[in-house]
């Protein structure tokens, strides 16, 4: 009996692009295209895929204030869904302090949301089901000498635009120095329940 060994190949590639200083004021446009190929080396069948496209617009209004919006098109089954990943304003009232208001990536966990910032091929189950990806609310961040930083935030809950009854509080303490990066995050808040007592 002849045995055939098939080697599956999954490759992902992200191309980044950027334009800086070409617009009024200090506006920067950047982004990425996330494409992939999946197939067998032993056969002629394979498939290219377009998984995600993102355009990021950032504007520095003053030395202390700025705006940012990340617009993305993500593959959802056979089609694409357009959504706003992040949209926030920042203000720095003093050196080493930054206030952020709006929808922003959650400062929690090792894995990041965008494929250009991920070290592995795909996200883990902990990232998909156990951590928030974005928070809508307010955060305050402070950096200290020696590589230490802290962030405190209040938001509408996990990946929610609005909060019906409760808010979520959280924070992070971090350390980064000479290639070593470590952080400890915490998040607390009551689950929103509908009229039938089901978590939403």
Rounded Cα–Cα distance for residues 78 and 154 (Å):
36
DSSP 163-176: -SS--EEEEEEEEE
Task: Return all residues near 179 (Cβ < 8 A) that are at least 6 apart.
Answer: none
What pLDDT is recorded for position 117? 77
What pLDDT is recorded for position 18? 45
Rounded Cα–Cα distance for residues 37 and 174 (Å):
37
What pLDDT is recorded for position 57? 95
What pLDDT is recorded for position 34? 87
Tokens describing residue 174: 């971090």
**Residuewise pLDDT in 10s, the chain (200 residues):** 433 333 333 444 545 444 444 455 689 999 999 888 888 777 677 888 888 899 999 999 999 999 999 999 988 777 888 999 999 999 999 999 999 999 999 988 777 778 777 777 777 777 777 778 889 999 999 999 989 999 999 998 877 767 666 788 999 999 998 888 889 999 888 766 555 555 55
In degrees to the nearest 10, what's the CA dihedral of 112, 115, 117, 118?
70
Beta bridge mates, 80: 75
What pLDDT is recorded for position 52? 87
């Amino acid at each position: 009996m002849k045995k055939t060994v098939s080697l599956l190949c999954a490759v992902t590639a992200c191309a980044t692009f950027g334009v800086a200083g070409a617009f009024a004021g200090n506006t920067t446009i950047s982004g990425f295209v996330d494409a992939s190929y999946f197939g067998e080396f032993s056969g002629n069948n394979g498939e290219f895929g377009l998984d995600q496209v993102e355009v990021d617009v950032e504007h520095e209004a003053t030395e202390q204030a700025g705006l940012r919006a990340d617009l993305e098109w993500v593959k959802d089954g056979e089609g694409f869904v357009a959504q706003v990943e992040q949209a926030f304003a920042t203000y720095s009232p003093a050196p080493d302090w930054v206030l952020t208001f709006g929808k922003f990536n959650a400062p929690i966990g090792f894995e990041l949301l965008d494929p250009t910032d991920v070290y592995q091929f795909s996200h883990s189950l902990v990232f998909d089901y156990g951590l928030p990806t974005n928070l809508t609310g307010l955060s305050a961040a402070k950096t200290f000498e020696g590589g230490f930083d802290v962030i405190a935030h209040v938001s509408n809950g996990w990946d929610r635009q609005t909060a019906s009854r409760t808010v979520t509080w959280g924070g992070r303490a971090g350390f980064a120095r000479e290639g070593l990066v470590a952080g400890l995050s915490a998040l607390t808040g009551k689950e929103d329940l509908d009229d039938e007592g089901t978590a939403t």
